Structure 1
Amino acid sequence: MSKQIVYTDEAPAPIGPYSQAVKINGTLFVSGQVAIELSTQGDIQAETQKVMENIGAILKAAGMDYPNVVKSSIFVKDMNNFAAINEVYGRFFTENPPARETVEVARLPKDVNVEISVIAVQ
């Protein structure tokens, strides 16, 4: 078993004791990504776009891309933003989208509005 920590300067550095991603046996586990710099602007689509770009940067650092994603988890502060988040998220998965759940939560780190994590396989 070969465990590789994946890190890129193209995505936010971890704000706690965790890695941006861990790759093991061809499977990449990407930690929840947020858009701290956009969370106070109130534009859920811009925030979601940045989160997905962060995920893309981490996937690239691991030698993967969006089609490698098999599972995603979306955590959102307000389920009323579901359609807006879906619209942006869907641009990144135009064919054969991954399995997914979307969960409304009371609060997210740094008071962001959306956090997304993914699992990808080579």
Structure 2
Amino acid sequence: MPYNIEGEPYTRITVDEASELHDNENYVFVDVRRPDEYIEGHVKGALFITVDQLISRIDELPDAKNLLFICAAGVRSALACEMSASMGINQERIYNIEEGTPSWIAKGYPTSTGMDT
């Protein structure tokens, strides 16, 4: 079940919970890992913006969608959540997928490789 920790400007969500939102057009997955990690495998349809590029590319995040940030283990995606909130994105739209992409892939959820979305 999605949950919040006091002081964090985002909601924590599991890979299983995120998978239920994959085809929901009100949500977009944002992969914030390095390019080499992304190429090896990522959530199908994910927007690719490394955590290092997030501030300079913040305008590429859709205004009307909830943002599901994902990395390898939930650390860089948590940082991306914090950065997004500090740049003015409403906290209610920001989610951190805690388990990360390796778990997503291992569970057989929709995945792409290379630079394909």
What's the TM-score once normalised by structure 1's chain length?
0.35
Larger fraction in strand: 1
